[in-house]
Structure 1
Amino acid sequence: MSKSISARDLGIELKSADESALFKWFVASFLMGKRIQADIAAQAYRVIVEKHTRDTARKLAACTHRELVMMLGEAHYVRYDETTAERLRHLGKKLSDEYAGKIGHIHSASEDRQAFEKRLGEFEGVGPKTIEIFMRDAAAVLY
């Protein structure tokens, strides 16, 4: 089992109603939810969100597939680069289109934590592991 990386380890300070931090942690959790080493997933997060400033749903959705594959390659996140690139674009687009780019809107549209987690699972490529990683740190500011 690979080590756990927290939001704080990535310099993400989760606070209630801080949409930027929640989005960044969702992207990081998405990357770490795959069968890939945690440090490589963390590096992919840093390359995409910090270096290339794809730090909002809209900016992520505006990336081309090729740009995302190159960013993932830069981070040595190559095992699932093609599908991950496509799913990251879909994640940004769905979050923008359906929730105005805000994790908080998913939260306010959900009756409870179970409904919130179910909505997260409706994003392509977001499974139980990604939800578990995300909620490990985000639950404290959401619930």
Structure 2
Amino acid sequence: MTARTERTARALIDRCGETYAAQAGIRLRDTPAPLYQTLVLAHLLSARIKADVSVGAARALFDAGLRTPRAMAEATWQQRVDALGVGHYRRYDERTATQLGDGARMLLERYGGDLRRIRDEAPERLREYPGIGPTGVDIFLREVQAVWPEYAPYIDERAKEGASRLGLPRSPRGLTGLVRDRDVPRLTAGLVRVSLDRKLAADVTELARA
């Protein structure tokens, strides 16, 4: 650990350390509704669409009242398509609307709509949800590590790419030693953002030097 790496980590959190869940308006707690909302967000973020569009689509779904598996399952396919359209999530809207409905029904039937029931086996069980592959699992666990601490620190390959871009250590121990435990999800979100945006990485580096 050096003064430079600590300054860089702090600059990263200050500049772009908002978690994606917070950006989507999710008040993350270890309760069924926010956990489900985070899974929906992970589903949208794992597609090849800009992250801001995916976050906007998640907010549009939640604004339309589709915040729980029950509400998502009871909505019509067209209502889900329309909400995704409001969020400008149009490239995969029809397929995603189908997957969201199928996934909500599956969660209700198998787990009573409560993701806490798969907490111990989350990396495997999350793959049962339509549209969630390895990337979606990574996104979900990055976001929920604050309330499922047994998965913390969750530093996936995407976050490690961001660390390399900023000259920070890539190991979970090396990275988490730079910040307080409660800031690890924000650090991870910032690392993901700079891995996707070279200009943002340059901004963080400049801020750390100021």
Q: Which segments of 5 or more consecutive residues in structure 2 lack a partner in the other structure? A: 1-15, 151-210
**1:30 matched to 2:43:** yes
Give the match's secondary structure for 1:124: coil
> Alignment partner for residue 123 of structure 1, among 107, 125, 129?
129
Q: Work out the CA distance in 1 between the residues paired with 2:145 and 2:53.
A: 24
1:10 equivalenced with 2:35 (yes/no): no
Q: SS of the residue aligned with 2:70?
A: helix
Deviation at 1:73, TM superposition (A): 1.3
Task: State the number of aligned residues.
Answer: 133
TM-score by length of 2: 0.59
Identity of aligned residues (%): 33
- Where does structure 1 lack aligned partners over 5 or more consecutive residues? none
Distance 2:69 2:82 in 1: 19
Give 2:114's match in structure 1, choosing from 102, 108, 111: 102
Q: Which has the larger radius of gyration?
A: 2
Structure 1 runs (4+) deviating above 3 angstroms are none
More helix by share: 2
- Give 2:140's aligned residue: 134
CA displacement, residues 45-66 of structure 1 (integer Å, 9 cap, x when unaligned):
11111x2111110100111111
Residue aligned with 1:101, SS: coil
Deviations 1:34-87 (A, max 9, x none): 1111111111111111x2111110100111111111111121101001110000
2:155 aligns with: none
> Please, what is the CA RMSD of the aligned residues?
1.7
CA distance in 2 between counterparts of 1:11 and 1:81 reads: 21
